[in-house]
Amino acid sequence: MTHSDLARRIHAVSHLEGHFTLRSGRAATEYFDKYRFEGDPVLLDEIAQRMAPLVPSDTEVLAGLEMGGIPVVTALGRYTGLPCAFVRKQAKSHGTCRLAEGAEVAGRRVLVVEDVVTSGGQIVQSTADLRGLGAQVDEALCVIDREQGGADALAAEDIRLLSLLTAGDLRAAAA
């Protein structure tokens, strides 16, 4: 499967048109329903296989963000062999009361993994939390960059955004 084939397949499975309010609060007339490609085990496996070469070589832990980043990071971990952490939006109030479950992040180079990036707000927040736990976070990796300012917002926080695909890639592949 080529890069364009993958983009075309993701677009066919996940692209919706209508009126949507994004997590960032922005209004949109198109939406990439990430759960449609994350819920397809064959497609998710292909995505993870294609993302693996994008993981910086000095990465020690992959950190998937709640909720959409969790299936992506789990699949990606299979191809990289790297341990995974699962990062909550808020530390749970019971059990371990942890913000990041799974692999230890303190003192390690951590790559944040997300499914779709629009404004980058959740990555910025979660990266601040991870850095507060002692993680070194310099990059984030996503399946789709919607190209709506997320990369710039992350750069302002010293986070480089790596993406498998952009919204432009998906539109071009569907044309």
The three-point CA angle 77-91-45 to 5° equals 20
Single-letter residue type at 52: A
Domains of the chain as residue ranges with CATH = 3-174 (3.40.50.2020)
Q: What is the distance in angstroms between the CA of the first residue and the CA of the last residue of the chain? A: 18
Q: Taking a C-beta distance cutoff of 8 angstroms, is the pair 141, 93 a contact? A: no
Tens-digit pLDDT string for the chain (175 aa): 899 999 999 999 998 999 999 777 888 898 889 999 999 999 999 999 999 999 999 999 999 999 999 999 999 999 999 999 999 987 666 666 577 999 999 999 999 999 999 899 999 999 999 999 999 999 999 999 999 999 999 999 999 999 999 999 998 998 8
At 78, list the tokens: 């299979």
Which residues are CB-contacts of 90 (< 8 A; sequence separation ≥ 6)? Answer: 99
pTM: 0.93
Write down the pLDDT at residue 1: 80
